[in-house]
Amino acid sequence: MATLRRVTGVPADALFFEPGVAWRPVSPKLVTERRLPVLAVALVGVAMMILGAALQLVGAPVLWPLVMAGLLVTAVAAVLWFVVVPRVVSSWRYAERAQDLLIRHGRVYRRLTVVPYGRMQVIEVSANPISHRLGIATVTLVTASANTNAKIPGLPMEVAQELRDRLAAKGEAMTAGL
Amino acid sequence: MTSTVNVTPPLRRLHPLTPVLGSWRLLGGLTAAAFGLFRERLENLAWIWDALHGSTDFAVLLKALGVLLFALLVSALAAWLSWRATGFAIMADDNGVGTLLFHRGLFVRQRSQVRLKRVQSVDVNQPLVPRLLGLSALRLDMAAGEGASVNLAYLRNADAGRLREEILRHTGVAPVRAATEQPPPTAGLSTAGRPDGTADAAIAAATAGGLPARAGLEVRGDELIAQVSTAHLIRANLLDGVSAWLLLVVWLIGLVVGSVIWGWEALLAAVAFLVPLTIALVAQISRQISSMLKDANFRLYRTPTGVRISSGLTSTINRTIDFDRIQGVRLMEPYLWRRFGWAAVMVDIAGGSRDEEKGAALMPVTGRSAALELVAQVSGVWLDHGTYVGAGGGARRLDPWGWRYLGVALFDQGAARRSGRWRRSIAFVPFERVQSVTARQGWLQRRLSLATVYVDLPVGAKRWDAQHRGHDDAATLVGELCRRARAQLEPASRAADRRPEHEAEHQATQQLAPGVQHWP
C-alpha cells in the first residue's frame, strides 16, 4: 500500500485501490495529447501579451491590462501543462480480473467502474488523428446501459488491440443479455 | 437475421382511416404555411369581418379558402400515399421464432424486422379521436430505446387485440414467477383506502362484465388483480402536489387582493413580474392533471407471463409487461401519503419513450401492504423483509435531512436501496440486470471517506444509486454487486437469443431510391 501511495500520491484504500489487483497505467503519450489544447490556450496568452506590449510601444492608450490578462492566461496554461494534465493522466488505471474489468480515474473526483465481461456488448478501439500519430488508442466498453462509462484512453496501439482481443474472447465465453 | 425468409409475405395494411387521422397534422403545418403567405392580408383581422359583410373584395377570402382546400387535398393525398406504403406482417421461421416486418415511408423507405422475442413491452394506446372512432395504436417497445419502437397506428380495436395476442404468443417465453411465500394476489390487492369488502365486490362486479365497453381489447383469462377508484386517485394526486396547489391558492388570493387595492394595471404588472412563478405553477398543475388523466380508470391484470396495465380517461393505454422484462421496481411514498399508508409502485422497462423515463406506474396509488405485495409479485422480493444497512453518521454532513433514511439491503435476487426524507422511495434492482457497477467520490465525500455506488442499468431504467456509503461499505457493496451479478449470468445458450439488439434485432434499412426495392 505504501508503494501505491508513493506512486499515485493519493491515499490508498480498499475501494479505489483494491489490493492484490494488478493495476496498469496508461501510456505517458496521453499527456502529450492532452497537452495540445493547453498549448493553444498558452499561445493565446502569449499573443495577448505581445499584442499589448507592441501597441504600448506604438503609443496606444493604456494597454497593460491586456498584458496582465495574457500573463494570467499563460500562468493558468502553465499550471495545466505541468501539474494538472500529468496528474490527471497518471490517475487512469485499469485492471483485468478473472471475471471483470476495473477502470478507475480522477484525483479530486474519483471514479471506479466495474464491468463484468459477460455484460459487454461492443468493444471499440478508436483513435483520433492526433492519438494515431502518437500511436495510442482508446478502448471503450459498451454495455446495454447508457450510463456505463468504461473508457480507457491512451493505450499503446498494440496493447489496445491485445486488450480488445482478450476482452472479446472473455466476453464471448460469458455473454448474457438483458 | 440469418433465418429470415427472403420472400416477403403479404403485408397487412393499417386501418383506412389512418390517413385521415394522420393528415390533420400535415394540414396543420400547411395551414401555418398558408398563413405565412397571406400574412400581410391577414394582419388586420378586420378584413375578414369586412369580407363577410361584403364591404371589401370577397375574392381575397375565396383565395384564402382555395389555398386551404388545396392544402387539405395535398395533405390527404400525401397521407393516403404514405398509408399505401405502410404495411406489416408477422412471420415465423422454421424454429417458430416470430418476426414482425414493418414497412413504411414514402420517400425514405424504411423496412424494419423486429424479433418478437426481444420485445420489451406491448402497448395498445387509444388517443382521444381514434378512440371515438374505435381505433387504437399498437406499440412495441424494444430495449434500444425510442428510435427502435414500432408504432402500428391505427388498427381496429379488435384487430389490435388479436395482433397483441399473436405477438405476445411469440414474446412470452418466461415461466410465471410468483412470490413464493405468499398466497395468490387477489386477497390483499384491493382498492386501497377501502379495506372493507367493497373493493373486492367492485372487482367482482367488474370482472363479471360490468366493465365499460372496450370490446376487443379485453383479453379473456386475464385476471383483474387491482384497480384504483377515481376518487382515491384524485385525493392521492392532490396530496402529492399539495404544495403546488397551496401556492396556486396563495397566488390567486394575492392577485385578487392586489388588483382590488392597486387596480388592474397592478394586476398586469404582478402577472408579468411573476412570470417564472406562473410558468412553474402552470407546468406543475398541468403535469398533475395529465398524470391524473393518464392514471384514471387504472386496472391491473395478471397475464400468464406478466401483468397488463389498462388506464386513461381521454386517451387510454393498455400495456403488457412480461415479468422477465422488468429492469427495476420502485416503491414511492410521498410525505403526505405516509400519513394514510399509501404508496405507488413504478416499474422500469428497457426501452420505452422519453416521457416514460420515470418508469411506468404499476400502481399509481394503493395501500402500503398491497404495494409491497405487488412488488413481491413482480420481483419475488418482499422489500420490507430485508435488513437495511444505514449509511452511517458520516453521511450527515452531506445529507443533513435524509441521511437517516439512506439504506441498502441485499436480497438473493437483487439489491434494494431506501432513501428520501420527505419523498421516501425504495428502489429494487435484480442482480441479473446489472450491466456495470460504478463508484464515485467527490471532493467532499473524500474528506469524509464516503463514496456513492451506482448500478448501471439498460437504457430506459432509472440508475440505481446508494448514496454516501462509507469506504469499506462501498467496497463491499461493489464487490458483492459484481459477484452476484456474475452469478446470475446465464449460460450462453439461453443468452444467445436474449442479447439486446445492438447486433441484429432491429434492422432498419433506409433507402433513398424507392425503385431499388421489390416492394410494394
What's the pLDDT tens digit per position in B418-473?
A: 998 888 999 999 998 888 999 999 989 988 889 999 999 887 788 899 999 988 88
**What pLDDT, on a 0 to 100 scale, did the predictor assign at position B144?**
65
**What pLDDT, on a 0 to 100 scale, did the predictor assign at position B51?**
60
Closest C-alpha to B270, from B249, B260, B255: B255
Nearest to B459 among A99, A112, A145 (CB): A145
Residues of B in contact with A111 (CB under 8 A): 438-441
User: What is the arithmetic mean of pLDDT over B348-352?
Assistant: 73
Residues of B in contact with A20 (CB under 8 A): none
Interchain contact B500–A (C-beta under 8 A): yes
The residue of chain A nearest to residue B461, with distances taken between CA atoms, is: A145
Question: Which of B73-82, B348-357, B383-392 has the weakest average pLDDT?
Answer: B348-357
Interchain contact B173–A (C-beta under 8 A): no
Stretch 336-355 of chain B: residues touching chain A, C-beta under 8 Å: 350
CA distance A95 to chain B (A): 14
Asked whether the predicted pLDDT for residue B497 surpasses 60, the reply is no
For the ranges A49-58, A114-123, A155-164, the maximum mean pLDDT occurs at A155-164
Asked whether the predicted pLDDT for residue B386 surpasses 80, the reply is yes
**What pLDDT, on a 0 to 100 scale, did the predictor assign at position B260?**
81
Sign of CA dihedral A88, A104, B437, A174: positive
CA distance B328 to chain A (A): 12
Asked whether the predicted pLDDT for residue B496 surpasses 50, the reply is no
**What pLDDT, on a 0 to 100 scale, did the predictor assign at position B105?**
79
What's the CA dihedral at B173, B177, B183, B189 to 10 degrees? -80
% pLDDT > 70, chain A:
89
Inspect the interface and report whether the beta carbons of B454 and A176 lie closer than 8 Å. Answer: no
Helices B275-295 and B230-240 cross at an angle (nearest 10°) of: 150
User: What is the arithmetic mean of pLDDT over B54-66?
Assistant: 69
At position B359, the amino acid (one-letter code) is: G
The residue of chain B nearest to residue A148, with distances taken between CA atoms, is: B456
The residues on A that touch B, with CB distances below 8 Å, are 13-16, 18, 99-100, 108-116, 118-119, 121-122, 142-150, 173-178
Asked whether the predicted pLDDT for residue A24 surpasses 50, the reply is yes
Asked whether the predicted pLDDT for residue B518 surpasses 60, the reply is no
What's the CA dihedral at B258, B261, B262, B265 to 10 degrees? 60
**What pLDDT, on a 0 to 100 scale, did the predictor assign at position B38?**
62
User: What is the arithmetic mean of pLDDT over B19-27?
Assistant: 70
Residues of B in contact with A95 (CB under 8 A): none
The residue of chain A nearest to residue B471, with distances taken between CA atoms, is: A15
Asked whether the predicted pLDDT for residue A17 surpasses 50, the reply is yes
CA distance A13 to chain B (A): 8
Domain extent listing, chain B: 1-171
The residue of chain B nearest to residue A146, with distances taken between CA atoms, is: B459
Contact criterion met (CB below 8 Å) for B124 and B309: no
**What pLDDT, on a 0 to 100 scale, did the predictor assign at position A29?**
93
How high is the mean pLDDT of chain B? 75
The residue of chain B nearest to residue A10, with distances taken between CA atoms, is: B446
**What pLDDT, on a 0 to 100 scale, did the predictor assign at position B206?**
37
Helix (H) or strand (E) holding B414: strand B414-419
CA distance A53 to chain B (A): 41
Higher confidence at residue B489 or residue B392?
Answer: B392
Per DSSP bridges, beta strands A122-126 and A110-116 are: unpaired
**What pLDDT, on a 0 to 100 scale, did the predictor assign at position B369?**
93
**What pLDDT, on a 0 to 100 scale, did the predictor assign at position B46?**
59
Which ipTM score applies to this complex? 0.84
pLDDT classification of B18: cutoffs 50, 70, 90? confident
Higher confidence at residue B106 or residue B502?
Answer: B106
Asked whether the predicted pLDDT for residue B353 surpasses 60, the reply is no
Residues of A in contact with B475 (CB under 8 A): 13-15, 18
Residues of A in contact with B463 (CB under 8 A): 147
**What pLDDT, on a 0 to 100 scale, did the predictor assign at position B239?**
87
pLDDT classification of B124: cutoffs 50, 70, 90? confident
A/B interface, count of CB pairs below 8 Å: 124
Contacts of B501-505 with CB under 8 Å at 24 or more apart are B501/B115, B501/B118, B501/B142, B501/B143, B501/B144, B501/B148, B502/A121, B502/A122, B502/A142, B502/A144, B502/B144, B504/B1, B504/B115, B505/B114, B505/B115, B505/B118, B505/B142, B505/B143, B505/B144, B505/B148
Contact criterion met (CB below 8 Å) for B12 and B90: no
Enumerate helices (H) and strands (E) in chain A, giving the number of each. 6, 7
